[in-house]
């Protein structure tokens, strides 16, 4: 019994020493501030810039029901949380107005948005082919509706063929089919090679057709 009591006493003493050591070496307890996660749109919003020049992702605007299509209109806007901007007097503000043309985003001029390109449709086909593109409005442009929208566009991709190179080959080595070989039209190139450019007639015709852009790359792309 004496041995058991001595063991329990030593265990209690050891726990007490650990408690005192822990208390003496650690800093006083204080509740750590929980990190606040910043919204993703904040990275697109310049700090302390003019509110009227903020990208649309940085603000929320009220609908102007008196907006007339194609006419200038004023919209009341407010900056989103964590966004800081100023007015013309360099004073911080939250509420402001912006002026823009009353129209939907898909009605903007082609210079105001960027669209995806297609590399599998024929640009020189007749009639010209179109493809489904996804377009995104540029950051500094304001408009109504969705800023990302689908649109049917004419094929406009290029395979890297130069019009000047094709024309130069047609003039100098067209009788041997060099121009057709360069454009990837190897069947026509072989035909010109073994017929000596169609006795010169085919060569002259190709110079004219390539010069006006009627004959293009075999993959259907545009010249660069």
The 3-state secondary structure of the chain reads CHHHHHHHHHHHHHHHHHHHHHHHHCCCCCCCCCCCCCCHHHHHCCCCEEHHHCCHHHEEECCCCCCCCCCEEEEEEEECCCCCEECCCCCECCEEEEEEECCEHHHCCHHHEEECCCCCCCCCCCCCCEEEEEEEECCCCCCECCCEEEEEEECCCECCCCHHHHHHHHHHHHHHCHHHHHCCCHHHHHHHHHCHHHHCHHHHHHHHHHHCCCCCCCCCCECC
For 55-112, how does the pLDDT look when each residue is reduced to its tens digit (9 = 90+)?
888 999 998 888 899 999 999 999 999 898 998 888 888 899 999 999 999 999 989 9
| pLDDT averaged over every residue in the chain | 81
**Taking residues 2-7, what's their average pLDDT?**
46
Q: Which residue has the higher pLDDT, 25 or 176?
A: 176
- pLDDT, one tens digit per residue, over 75-89 is 999 999 989 899 888
Most confident of 4-8, 22-26, 124-128, 186-190: 186-190
Q: Is 50 exceeded by the pLDDT of residue 32?
A: no
Report the predicted TM-score, pTM, of the whole model to 2 decimal places. 0.56
């Amino acid at each position: 019994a004496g041995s058991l009591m001595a063991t329990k006493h030593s265990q209690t003493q050891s726990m007490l020493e650990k408690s005192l050591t822990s208390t003496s070496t650690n800093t006083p307890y204080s509740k750590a501030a929980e990190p606040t996660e910043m919204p993703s749109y904040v990275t697109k919003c310049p700090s302390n810039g003019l509110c009227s020049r903020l990208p649309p992702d940085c603000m929320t605007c009220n609908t102007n029901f008196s907006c007339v299509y194609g006419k200038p209109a004023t919209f009341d806007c407010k900056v989103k949380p964590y966004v800081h901007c100023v007015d013309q007097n360099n004073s911080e503000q939250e509420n402001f107005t912006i002026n823009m043309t009353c129209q939907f985003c898909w009605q903007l001029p082609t210079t105001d948005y960027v669209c995806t390109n297609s590399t599998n449709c024929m640009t020189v086909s007749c009639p010209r082919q179109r493809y489904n593109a996804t377009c995104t409005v540029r950051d500094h442009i304001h408009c109504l509706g969705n800023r990302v929208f689908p649109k049917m566009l004419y094929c406009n991709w290029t395979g890297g063929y130069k019009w000047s190179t094709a024309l130069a080959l047609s003039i100098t080595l067209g009788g041997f089919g060099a121009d057709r070989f360069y454009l990837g039209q190897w069947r026509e190139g072989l035909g010109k090679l073994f017929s000596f450019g169609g006795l010169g007639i085919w060569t002259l015709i190709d110079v004219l057709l390539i010069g006006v852009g009627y004959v293009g790359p075999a993959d259907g792309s545009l010249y660069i």
